[in-house]
Structure 1
Amino acid sequence: MNTYVGLGLRKEFSADFLDKGILQPAFFEVAPENWMNIGGFWAKNFREVRDRFPVHAHGLSLSIGSPDALDRKFLSQVRSFLRDYDIRVYTEHLSFSKCDNAHLYDLLPIPFRRDAAQHVARRVQEVQDFLGMPLGLEIVSYYTPVAAEMSEVDFINEVVRLSGCGLLLDVNNVFVNAFNHGYDAFTFIDALPLDKVMYIHMAGHEQVSPDLIIDTHGQPIIDPVYDLFDYAISRLERPVPVLLERDYNIPELSELQAELDRLEGICAKNWSHEVAVA
């Protein structure tokens, strides 16, 4: 079994995973929205996974940057789910996905502005107080800035500083944004509050034109993203959980395990077999 690297739990392979034992991740990650308030076969399936592995939660619909009030009913369901399954890591996206109670079904960028950072920080503190646990925020991919008054990295630093939240470093997103917006990914990572990194995501992407990459989570990780990952974790003071994301075009489980093993090897080289903590 891997020590550092986990995998997103997909219903497409969860039953095969339990029956065949091909995958050996350190943990599984789930979106609470896809697993809470379920019963029957899938509830039994999820309980079996949770009994054998730690589970981390990565949400999709908190919409931390939304101008709307936080959805307390939804947060209550999330809190119950986290407690029922003893899930101790909860992360979300530094983005918004609803406005005026309309769900946009996409993760849209928050304007890089100080007033927006202050708004997000207040909401993060409210969420953390309600759940009674830290919240980690993911650096998201985006394709055009909106009404920016500061740089992306300065905005991220301001949100983390004001809110006290953790940082989910999605290395592929940094690579995608650096390519699309013309900055150096290594310099960007150096400018982040690396002491606040509590979790890392790794994934594949698709280059659709000479000057545009789309973050898809549907392809294998490419070598330059592995290189950026190697650099990023070498800069951290302690091990953190690392997730392999694969949302569609799910390959053979042995191929997924090979990606887990490659990430595990990079982690072991940098972290000398310390146990990953969140």
Structure 2
Amino acid sequence: MQQRPALNGAGLGLRRALLGPLQDSPDAAIDFFEAAPENWINVGGKFGKIFRSFTERYPFVCHGLSLSLGGPAALDETLLRKIRRLLDEHQIRIYSEHLSYCADDAHLYDLLPIPFTEEAVDWVAARIRRAQDILGRRIAVENVSYYAAPGQQMREIDFTNAVLAAADCELLLDVNNIYVNSVNHRYDAKAFLDALPAERVAYIHIAGHYNEAPDLIVDSHAAAVIDPVWDLLDHAYARCGVLPTLLERDFRFPPLGELVGELDHIREIQARHGIGEERHARRA
């Protein structure tokens, strides 16, 4: 099977609502795509062919929605095996999931915060290790936005780092989530980013959000990226090196040209730091 191009640059989430504009603009400046595997497992017919046409042309990563790594219900090993087949079939390099939970015998349709405790570190890390065994590859877990911290006994940064070390997994660094949490929970965003293990970062997310109040931000993925988040991305490159960076946009889609404009801004910031070809090639 033909080897895909190396993963680098600025990418976009592949959403059903964008398929038409993307097909109408096949030369749009998009370096890679991210897809939710749950949306494409066992999809055939017209949409299956469309998905295949994209994965044959572009590098892809997959970002899961429903594995519920921190949840109390049994790990969905059937889903993991289906995800592995999808990753292998389409030569998808990276699979990531949220450091949160979203199910307890039924899907809760939201990303809920894992208690920041030593017990939770052991629970989640064991589930990540099992997931990696089934998938046959390391996965990247995403630092998530959260609005309450029930049962908290550790700082968020200490919990996150403990999970990464105990699971020996990678990190999907979400820059916007750090900014959102820094406002909602009143900590220094750059200090939090600096305390993360740069060597574990697989790729980066950036997104827009909604200001509910001066001290409350909602991570919406439905707006343009703002200047403080761009500044934090610049800091992330200085700290971690230039890494593939995914623009998340899930709702209220603007014209494709506006999204590509944000991708161009990612590439402008990357260019200020160098393009990191050596590191990208290592992950290819």
Q: Bin the TM-score by the shorter chain.
A: over 0.9
CA distance in 2, matches of 1:111, 1:26: 36
CA distance in 1, matches of 2:99, 2:16: 26
Q: Name the CA shift for 1:3/1:116 in 2 (closer, same or farther; >3 Å).
A: closer
TM-score w.r.t. structure 2 length? 0.94
Matched position secondary structure for 1:235: helix
Aligned to 1:239: 242
Matched position secondary structure for 1:198: strand
2:111 is aligned with 1:107: yes
Unaligned ranges ≥5, structure 1: none
Aligned to 2:59: 54
Aligned to 1:255: 258
Q: What do the CA deviations read for 1:10-47 (whole angstroms, capped 9, x no partner)? A: 11122331232252211100000111111111001101
Structure 2 matches for 1:265-276, cutoff 5 A?
265-272=268-275, 274=277, 276=280
Counterpart residue type for residue 99 of structure 2: L
Q: What do the CA deviations read for 1:224-244 (whole angstroms, capped 9, x no partner)? A: 1000110011111x4321100
2:180 is aligned with 1:176: yes
Q: Name the CA shift for 1:183/1:66 in 2 (closer, same or farther; >3 Å).
A: same
8 Å CA contact 1:218–1:248 kept in 2: the answer is yes
Percent identity for Structure 1 against Structure 2: 48
Aligned to 2:234: 230
* Alignment partner of 1:68 out of 59, 64, 73: 73
How many residue pairs get aligned? The number is 276
Aligned to 2:99: 94
Matched position secondary structure for 1:176: helix
Matched position secondary structure for 2:237: helix
Q: What do the CA deviations read for 1:111-131 (whole angstroms, capped 9, x no partner)? A: 000110111111111010111
Q: What do the CA deviations read for 1:46-94 (whole angstroms, capped 9, x no partner)? A: 0111111011100000000012221121111111111111111000000
CA distance in 1, matches of 2:44, 2:263: 30
2:5 is aligned with 1:6: no
Aligned to 1:24: 29
8 Å CA contact 1:22–1:257 kept in 2: the answer is no
8 Å CA contact 2:56–2:90 kept in 1: the answer is no
Q: CA RMSD in A?
A: 1.5
Q: What do the CA deviations read for 1:188-223 (whole angstroms, capped 9, x no partner)? A: 111111211111000000101121100000000000
Matched position secondary structure for 1:12: helix
CA distance in 2, matches of 1:195, 1:176: 23
Aligned to 1:133: 137
Aligned to 2:3: none
* Alignment partner of 1:151 out of 151, 155, 179: 155
* Alignment partner of 1:45 out of 26, 41, 50: 50
CA distance in 1, matches of 2:10, 2:167: 27
Matched position secondary structure for 1:13: helix
CA distance in 2, matches of 1:184, 1:66: 28
Counterpart residue type for residue 113 of structure 2: P
Measured after TM superposition, the shift of residue 274 of structure 1 is 2.3
